[in-house]
Amino acid sequence: MRVSEFWTAVSDEFGELYGRVLTSDLVLSAVGGMTAVQAIKAGVAPREIWLALCEASEVPESRRYGVGQREPKE
Protein backbone atom coordinates (compact mmCIF):
# COMPACT_ATOMS: atom_id res chain seq x y z
CA MET A 1 0.00 0.00 0.00
CA ARG A 2 1.30 3.41 -0.96
CA VAL A 3 0.61 6.56 1.04
CA SER A 4 -1.79 7.74 -1.67
CA GLU A 5 -3.66 4.42 -1.43
CA PHE A 6 -3.81 4.85 2.35
CA TRP A 7 -5.51 8.24 1.97
CA THR A 8 -7.92 6.83 -0.61
CA ALA A 9 -8.81 3.99 1.78
CA VAL A 10 -9.32 6.43 4.67
CA SER A 11 -11.56 8.64 2.55
CA ASP A 12 -13.55 5.68 1.22
CA GLU A 13 -14.08 4.15 4.66
CA PHE A 14 -14.56 7.21 6.87
CA GLY A 15 -15.28 10.08 4.50
CA GLU A 16 -12.75 12.75 3.67
CA LEU A 17 -13.44 15.15 6.55
CA TYR A 18 -13.89 12.62 9.36
CA GLY A 19 -10.97 10.60 7.98
CA ARG A 20 -8.66 13.61 8.27
CA VAL A 21 -9.79 14.25 11.86
CA LEU A 22 -9.43 10.58 12.77
CA THR A 23 -5.93 10.28 11.33
CA SER A 24 -4.82 13.46 13.11
CA ASP A 25 -6.38 12.80 16.52
CA LEU A 26 -6.66 9.04 17.16
CA VAL A 27 -3.56 7.64 18.89
CA LEU A 28 -2.78 4.15 17.64
CA SER A 29 -0.97 1.93 20.14
CA ALA A 30 -0.17 -0.57 17.37
CA VAL A 31 2.15 1.97 15.72
CA GLY A 32 3.97 3.16 18.81
CA GLY A 33 1.38 5.48 20.29
CA MET A 34 1.35 7.83 17.32
CA THR A 35 -1.50 9.15 15.24
CA ALA A 36 -1.71 7.95 11.64
CA VAL A 37 -0.34 11.27 10.40
CA GLN A 38 2.60 11.08 12.80
CA ALA A 39 3.26 7.46 11.84
CA ILE A 40 3.34 8.34 8.13
CA LYS A 41 5.83 11.12 8.83
CA ALA A 42 7.90 8.68 10.93
CA GLY A 43 8.11 6.25 8.02
CA VAL A 44 5.80 3.51 9.27
CA ALA A 45 4.44 1.39 6.43
CA PRO A 46 1.05 2.71 5.26
CA ARG A 47 -0.45 -0.82 5.31
CA GLU A 48 0.55 -1.20 8.98
CA ILE A 49 -1.03 2.16 9.80
CA TRP A 50 -4.19 1.29 7.85
CA LEU A 51 -4.62 -2.00 9.71
CA ALA A 52 -4.00 -0.30 13.07
CA LEU A 53 -6.57 2.38 12.20
CA CYS A 54 -9.08 -0.27 11.16
CA GLU A 55 -8.54 -2.23 14.37
CA ALA A 56 -8.90 0.85 16.57
CA SER A 57 -12.02 1.96 14.69
CA GLU A 58 -13.57 -1.52 14.59
CA VAL A 59 -13.73 -1.66 10.80
CA PRO A 60 -14.93 -5.16 9.81
CA GLU A 61 -12.15 -7.38 8.44
CA SER A 62 -14.05 -7.71 5.16
CA ARG A 63 -13.35 -4.01 4.49
CA ARG A 64 -9.69 -3.94 5.51
CA TYR A 65 -7.97 -5.60 2.57
CA GLY A 66 -7.73 -4.52 -1.04
CA VAL A 67 -8.95 -1.03 -0.30
CA GLY A 68 -7.37 2.17 -1.41
CA GLN A 69 -6.97 1.14 -5.01
CA ARG A 70 -8.96 2.95 -7.61
CA GLU A 71 -10.94 1.11 -10.25
CA PRO A 72 -8.99 0.72 -13.50
CA LYS A 73 -9.81 3.23 -16.22
CA GLU A 74 -11.65 1.88 -19.22
Spell out the domain ranges in the chain: 3-63
- pLDDT at residue 35 greater than cutoff 80: yes
pLDDT band at 70 (very low <50, low <70, confident <90, very high): low
Task: Give residue 25's pLDDT.
Answer: 97
Mean pLDDT of the chain: 89
> Whole-angstrom Cα distance, residue 5 to residue 48?
13
- pLDDT at residue 33 greater than cutoff 60: yes
Q: pLDDT, tens digit, for every residue of 43-60?
A: 999 999 999 999 999 998
Contact by Cβ (8 Å): 22, 10: yes
